[in-house]
Chains A and B, each alone.
Chain A
Amino acid sequence: MERKVQLLAMFTVFLKQQWTGFWRSKGKSSTIVAQAVIAFVALYIVGLSLFIGINMEELFEELLPGKDVYIVFNGVILYYFGLDFLARLQMQELPAIAIVPYLHLNIPKKKIVWYLNIRALFSVFNILPLLIFLPFCILHLPDDFGLFACLMYIVTICSLMLFNNYAALYFKRVSAENMTIVIIGLFFMAAIAVMEYFRIFSIAAISNLFFQAITAYPTVGCAAIALATTMFLINYRYLAQHLYIDEIRSVKTTKTVTDYSFLNHFGLAGTLAALEIKLILRNKRPRATVAKGLLLLFYGLLLYKQETIEANEFWKLLATALLMTSNVLLIYGQMMFGWQSAEFDGMLAKKISVTVFFEAKILLLTLASSVLTLIVSLYGFLSWKILLMQFALYFYNTGIGTIIVLYFATRNYKSIDLSKGASFNWQGVGATTMILALPIMLSPYIIYLPLALIHPYWGLAGLAITGLMGIVTRKFWLGLLVRAFNERKYKIAAGFREKSS
Chain B
Amino acid sequence: MISINALQKIYAGRTVVDIEQLTISRGETIGVVGNNGAGKTTLFRMLLDLIRPSSGTIHSKDLNVAEGDQWKNYTASYLDEGFLIDYLTPEEYFIFVGSLYDMDAKEVTGYLKEYEEFFNGEILNSGKYIRDFSKGNQNKIGIAAALMQKPELLVLDEPFANLDPTTQIRLKSHLKQLKSTSITTLISSHDLNHVTDVCDRIILFEKGKVIKDLKTDANTLEELEAYFSQ
Contact = CB atoms under 8 A, between A and B. Distances in A.
Contacts of B72: 349-352
A342 B86 contact: yes
A255 B129 contact: yes
Interface residues of B, number: 35
Contacts of A418: 87
B57 interface: no
Nearest to A494: B51
Contacts of B75: 349
Contacts of B95: 257
B89 A268 contact: no
Contacts of B69: 351, 353-354
Interface in B78-116: 79-89, 91-92, 95-97, 99-101
Contact of B100 (A252, A257, A351): A351
Contacts of A490: 50-52
A209 B99 CA distance: 66
A390 B128 CA distance: 41
A343 B86 contact: yes
A275 B85 contact: yes
Nearest to B81: A342
A268 B100 contact: yes
A282 B130 CA distance: 12
Nearest to A270: B99
Given A258-B92, A342-B82, A283 B50 contact: no
B77 interface: yes
Contacts of A345: 45, 50, 79-80, 82-83
Secondary structure type dominating chain A contacts: helix
Contacts of A255: 89, 127-129
Contacts of A354: 69
A271 B103 CA distance: 13
Contact of B97 (A350, A353, A493): A350
A31 interface: no
Contacts of A271: 96, 99
A255 B129 CA distance: 7
A11 to B, nearest CB: 33
A245 to B, nearest CB: 13
A353 B69 CA distance: 7
Contacts of B89: 255-257
A20 interface: no
B82 A497 contact: yes
A343 B96 contact: no
A252 B131 CA distance: 13
A50 B87 CA distance: 43
B65 to A, nearest CB: 11
Contacts of B132: 252
Nearest to A497: B82
Contacts of A346: 82-85
Interface residues of A, number: 30
A33 B120 CA distance: 52
Interface centre among B50, B52, B87, B88 (most CB of A within 10 A): B87
Contacts of B91: 257
Contacts of A493: 50-51
Interface centre among A279, A342, A345 (most CB of B within 10 A): A345
A349 B87 contact: no
A278 B87 CA distance: 8
Nearest to B80: A345
A344 interface: yes
B197 to A, nearest CB: 27
Contacts of B88: 275, 278
Contacts of A252: 128, 132
Contact of B82 (A268, A344, A494): A344
Nearest to A350: B100
B152 interface: no
13 contacts: A255-B127, A255-B128, A256-B89, A257-B92, A275-B85, A278-B88, A282-B129, A342-B82, A343-B86, A345-B79, A349-B49, A351-B69, A490-B51
Interface of A: 252, 254-258, 268, 271, 275, 278-279, 282-283, 342-346, 348-354, 418, 490, 493-494, 497
Interface of B: 45, 48-52, 69, 72-73, 75, 77, 79-89, 91-92, 95-97, 99-101, 127-129, 132, 149
Given A278-B87, A345-B82, A351-B100, 8 more contacts: A257-B89, A271-B96, A342-B86, A345-B83, A346-B84, A349-B49, A351-B101, A351-B149
